[in-house]
Structures are given as C-alpha cells and as structure tokens.
C-alpha cells in the first residue's frame, strides 16, 4: 500500500513539473529579432500607443458624422409644497404631478465648424391638483455657423489634422523603436556569440595545452627536458583551465541577459546557430545619405512639429480677429390640456392637430464680436509662436546636417571593418599553419616550451581579433540600417 502511495505521489509530481519543463531554442539573429518584436516590453507598449492614436483618429472622424440621441422619462412623479405670495400674504399649496417625455435629437456637425441640429419630442403630464392631463408636441431645426471658422481657425479641421499627425507620429515612433530594438538585439546577439566563440577558443586552447603538458611530462620522464620546463607547462595548463572556467561564467551571464532582452523565461535554453559567415558589402556614402534623408523618422517628426506649430500660430492669430456666428432656427409646437378622466391618446391627438394649426416659430441672428484694444497682447503672442516656429525650422536643418555626418561616418566605419575582417581572415590561416609547425617541432625536441607558449598565444590572439572584427562588421551593418532605414544585405526587406 505504501509503495502504491509513493508511486502516485511521484507520478503527480512529474505531471506538475512537466508543464514547467525548459524549452530549447535554436536562434539565428533574425529569429532573435522576431522574438523580441513580439515579446519585448518596449515594443508591446509602443504598439498600444499606436492603437491609442488610431482610436483617437477614429473618434475624431466619427465626430464628423451624424449623432442621434434618445432621451426618455418614463415616468417621473413629484409631490411637494409650493408657496404663493400676494397682497393678502403667503399661502401654501400641494403639488402632485406625473410626467412622461421622450426626445429624439439628431446633430450633424459640419466641416466648416458649424452644425445642423434637429430635435423633436413629446411631453405629457398629469396634474393631480388641477385634475388636468396635458401634452406637448415640439420639433425644432437649428443651424449655427461661426463666421471666423471660414477665414480664421477651424477647430474641426484642426482637430482632424492633429489626430492624423499624431497617428503618423505614433507609427514613426514604433518604426524608430523597432530599428533601435534591431540594433540592441544584434548587439546582444553578437556579444553572446562572441563569448560563445571565446569559450570555444578557451576550450581548444585547454585541449592543446593538455596535449602539450602530456608531451612535456613524457619528455621530462625521459630526461629530455629540464624540470623547470615541465613545471612551466603545468602552470600554463592551470592558466588555460582557469581561462576556460572564466569564459563559461561570462557566457552564462551573457545568456541570462540575452534571455531577458528577448523576453523569454530564464529556464529556457538558447543555442545560437550563426556560423560566422558573412557577405562582403561595400556601401557608397552618397547613396546612404540619400536613403537616410529620405527615410529617417526624426525628420518627419520635425515636419510634424512644424505643421503643429503652424496650426498653433493660426489659432493664436484668430484670437485677435473679428468673431461671430450666424444662427437660424424654425420650430413648431402643439399643446393641449383636457380633463384627467380622459385618456392620453385624446390629449395627444388634440396636441397633434394643434401642432399643424399653430404658426411656426422662427428666428435668425447674426452676432459679431470685434476686438478693439488689447494693447498688443495678441500680436506679442503671435510673434512668440512664430519665433518657436523658427526654432523648429532651424532644428530640422541642424538635424539634417547631423544625419548626413553620422551616416557618412557609419559608412566609413563599415567599409573599414570589412577590410579589417578580410585581412584578419588571412592572419588566422597563417597562425594556424604556424602553430602546427611549432607544435611538431616541440614534439621533435627542436624548441622549448616557452616558444610553443608564445606561438599558442599568437594563435589565440588571431582567433580573438578575427572574432572581434567579425562582430564589429555585423554591428556596423546593423548601425547603418538604423541610420538609413535601408538594409544592404542581399534579399532583405527594406523600410524605404
């Protein structure tokens, strides 16, 4: 019985742990970037910002369409005491009343900042004190148009344009953050790849040093080398072992940082599948500058800021202009009161006939407000707004120069890193051949352990400098993509 219970507990434990089993991810650079796009906090937050701007734009567009509202009171009962004051004094009387009403309102905003408004409704009530039942039918059509919106500042058009610009700005922010994320992930990826390759170099060095130490110990046992040479080999082996262990620790630390950057669980395992292959790409500086000036989102942000400030200038100017509005309405009303013993349909029918018998009410009005003296307040505000606009224009010009400078520097750095990488490839090949010859000479007893150690260090340095050059070249490509929004890799999808 105890065995069965123990087996059940173990089985349940395994089932509970199974969903938490770590996942092994084999990642290329592009897969890492795609994963970060979906799971990183900054990208998810910016996508929500884009949704906010999109919904605000939809809200502004919906504000230009017809709005229909229905208001119902069914019913409302009131009982209170009212006062009446005349020459004989103050008297009090009771009021009891039951109300029913319904109102339909249709409002159509106009692109000219005006609106057409139609309201129709019915109201009926019972007066329990006067024993009356009354009803009223009412419909009203109104038009209102601010005249300053025709030549000054139009709030409807301005709000619509601002919503569209804010939506575009959110799109550009998302695109800019995405490029920054691409560079950040590329940097983290190649940093981890560098540490991963450094660990392999340290492991190979440890294997070579272990082999050299065995040869040295055999020679010492045979009396072919001095004891000091054998001891030096043991010291070199210990240093290689320590270097390998440090490389493992650094790699694991970089792995955890990269997992956090990607937004995946720390319990997952990741394996980078890059093989240090590359495509030589030579970039023309003038062409890169053209891409940068055409595609950089910061320039469009400056253009949006200039457009926004231009609207602000017009709005400030309009505060000092002649203002007014044209308003017109037409209204029809029908009303009737009958004895409370009669039905509601009777009073509504009478109100309906009265609705067509009564003459229409109408009105037309034109109101104007003329600013006379403000002691230059509005003029000063307009000039301040124009000065801010000039700052925006100068800021955009300076940004253009800065973009051109940094793009040319990025191209020069890329081309230089490519030449350095191609040169160091040859250096690695020569260092490997030289080490093999030196190791054979050491086995033959032609050279001592110190010469072998120097040649081994030269080979390790060749591996490390080649790896550093490869990382610098790949990061230069990622940096140029960030600065031009143009991917020069063959078959890449571009933003321009």
Helix axes 449-484, 155-221, angle to 10 degrees: 170
Give which of 468, 452, 496 is closest to 208, Cα–Cα. Answer: 452
Q: How many CA atoms lie within 13 A of 443 on its CB side?
A: 11
List, for residues 392-402, the tens digit of each pLDDT value. 999 999 999 99
CB atoms within 10 A of CB 49: 16
Rounded CA gap, 454 and 460, in Å? 10
Three-state SS string over 100-119 comes to: EEEEEEEEEECCCCCEEEEE
pLDDT at 3 over 50: no
Number of residues assigned to the chain: 496
For CA atoms 355, 356, 357, 359, give the dihedral sign.
positive
SS3 166: helix
Residue 247 tokens read as 């490389």
CA torsion, points 308, 311, 313, 316, in degrees to nearest 10?
-120
Rounded CA gap, 428 and 311, in Å? 62
pLDDT at 303 over 90: yes
Greater confidence, 408 or 230? 408
Give which of 151, 117, 122 is closest to 138, Cα–Cα. Answer: 122
Place of tokens 């509202």: 69
CB atoms within 10 A of CB 76: 11
pLDDT at 36 over 60: yes
Give the mean model confidence (pLDDT) for residues 282-301. Answer: 91
List, for residues 109-131, the tens digit of each pLDDT value. 998 889 998 999 988 888 777 77
> According to the model, what pLDDT value does residue 460 have?
79
pLDDT at 27 over 60: yes
List, for residues 200-219, the tens digit of each pLDDT value. 878 887 887 787 788 778 77
Q: Give every CB contact of residue 58 below 8 A, 6+ residues apart in sequence.
A: none
Greater confidence, 96 or 300? 300
pLDDT at 317 over 50: yes
Give which of 215, 231, 190, 191 is closest to 29, Cα–Cα. Answer: 190
Give which of 232, 201, 283 is closest to 467, Cα–Cα. Answer: 201
Indicate the pairing of strand 361-369 with strand 323-339.
antiparallel
- 262 phi, psi to nearest 5 deg: -80, -20
pLDDT at 199 over 70: yes
Q: For residue 136, what are the β-bridge partners? A: 123, 335
Place of tokens 């669980």: 265
| Pick from 18-22, 47-51, 70-74: least confident | 18-22
Give the mean model confidence (pLDDT) for residues 230-238. Answer: 79
Query: Alpha helices, DSSP H only, in 263-296?
Result: 285-295
Rounded CA gap, 395 and 405, in Å? 15
Give which of 266, 248, 264, 256 is closest to 196, Cα–Cα. Answer: 248
Local confidence band at 22 (pLDDT 50, 70, 90 cut-offs)? low
List, for residues 154-181, the tens digit of each pLDDT value. 888 888 888 899 888 888 888 888 888 8
> According to the model, what pLDDT value does residue 15 have?
39
Indicate the pairing of strand 115-127 with strand 269-272.
unpaired
Place of tokens 């504000």: 63
> According to the model, what pLDDT value does residue 17 have?
40
Displacement of CA 486 from its chain's centroid (Å): 20
DSSP letters, 10-53, are HHHHHHHHGGGPPPEEEE-HHHHHHHHHHH-HHHHHHHHHHHHH
Average per-residue pLDDT in the chain?
Answer: 83
Greater confidence, 378 or 224? 378
Element holding 367 (H helix, E strand): strand 361-369
Give which of 427, 411, 454 is closest to 282, Cα–Cα. Answer: 411
Rounded CA gap, 11 and 238, in Å? 46
> According to the model, what pLDDT value does residue 241 have?
87
Residue 303 tokens read as 């253009």
Q: For residue 434, what are the β-bridge partners? A: none
**Which stretches of 51-88 are assigned E, i.e. beta strand?**
67-86
CB atoms within 10 A of CB 451: 13
pLDDT at 18 over 50: no
Greater confidence, 370 or 453? 370
| Pick from 225-234, 424-433, 463-472: least confident | 225-234
Give the mean model confidence (pLDDT) for residues 461-480. Answer: 87
Give which of 204, 215, 208, 210 is closest to 446, Cα–Cα. Answer: 215
Cβ proximity of 288 and 281 under 8 Å: no
Give the mean model confidence (pLDDT) for residues 381-385. Answer: 93
Rounded CA gap, 162 and 155, in Å? 10
pLDDT at 11 over 80: no
> According to the model, what pLDDT value does residue 305 have?
92
List, for residues 131-161, the tens digit of each pLDDT value. 788 888 899 999 999 998 888 888 888 888 8
List, for residues 406-461, the tens digit of each pLDDT value. 999 999 999 999 999 999 888 888 888 888 888 788 777 777 667 777 877 788 78
Cβ proximity of 424 and 469 under 8 Å: yes
> According to the model, what pLDDT value does residue 68 have?
92
pLDDT at 41 over 80: no
List, for residues 52-76, the tens digit of each pLDDT value. 888 888 888 888 888 999 998 878 8
């Amino acid at each position: 019985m105890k065995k069965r219970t123990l087996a059940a507990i173990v089985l349940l434990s395994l089932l509970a742990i199974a969903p938490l089993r770590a996942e092994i991810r084999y990642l290329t650079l592009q897969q890492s970037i795609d994963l970060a796009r979906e799971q990183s906090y900054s990208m998810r937050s910016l996508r929500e910002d884009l949704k906010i701007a999109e919904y605000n734009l939809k809200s502004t567009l919906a504000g230009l369409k017809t709005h229909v509202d229905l208001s119902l009171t069914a019913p409302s009962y009131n009982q209170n005491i009212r006062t009446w004051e005349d020459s004989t004094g103050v008297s009090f009387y009771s009021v009891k009343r039951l109300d029913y009403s319904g109102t339909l309102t249709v409002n159509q905003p106009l692109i000219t900042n005006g609106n057409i408004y139609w309201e129709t409704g019915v109201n009926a009530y019972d007066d329990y004190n006067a024993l009356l039942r009354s009803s009223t039918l009412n419909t009203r059509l109104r038009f209102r148009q601010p005249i300053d919106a025709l030549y000054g500042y139009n709030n409807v058009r301005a709000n619509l344009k601002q919503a569209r610009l804010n939506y575009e700005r959110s799109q550009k922010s998302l695109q800019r953050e995405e490029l920054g994320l691409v560079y950040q992930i590329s940097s983290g990826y190649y940093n981890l790849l560098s540490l991963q390759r450094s660990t392999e170099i340290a492991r190979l060095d440890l294997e070579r040093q272990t082999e050299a130490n065995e040869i040295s110990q055999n020679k010492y046992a045979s009396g072919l080398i001095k004891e000091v040479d054998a001891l030096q080999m043991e010291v070199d082996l210990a240093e290689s072992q320590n270097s390998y262990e440090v490389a493992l620790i650094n790699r694991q630390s970089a792995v955890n940082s990269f997992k956090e950057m990607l937004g995946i669980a720390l319990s997952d395992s990741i394996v980078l599948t890059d093989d240090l292959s590359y495509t030589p790409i030579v970039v023309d500086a003038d062409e890169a500058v053209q891409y940068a000036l055409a595609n950089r989102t910061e320039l469009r942000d400056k253009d949006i800021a200039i457009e926004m400030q231009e609207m602000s200038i017009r709005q400030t100017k309009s505060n000092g202009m002649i203002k007014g509005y044209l308003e017109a309405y037409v209204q029809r009303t029908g009303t009737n009161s009958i004895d409370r013993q009669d039905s509601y349909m009777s009073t509504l029918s009478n109100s309906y006939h009265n609705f067509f018998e009564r003459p229409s009410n109408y009105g037309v009005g034109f109101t104007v407000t003329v600013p006379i003296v403000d002691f230059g307040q509005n003029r000063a505000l307009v000039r301040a707004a124009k000065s801010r606009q000039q700052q925006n224009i100068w800021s955009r010009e300076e940004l253009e120069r800065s973009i051109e400078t940094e793009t040319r520097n990025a191209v020069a750095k890329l081309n230089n890193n490519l030449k350095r990488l191609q040169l160091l490839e040859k250096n690695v090949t020569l260092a490997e051949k030289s080490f093999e010859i030196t190791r054979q000479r050491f086995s033959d007893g032609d050279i001592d352990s110190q010469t072998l150690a120097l040649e081994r260090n030269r080979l390790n340095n060749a591996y490390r400098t080649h790896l550093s050059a490869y990382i610098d070249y790949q990061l230069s490509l990622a940096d140029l993509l960030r600065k031009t929004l143009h991917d020069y890799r063959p078959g890449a999808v571009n933003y321009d």
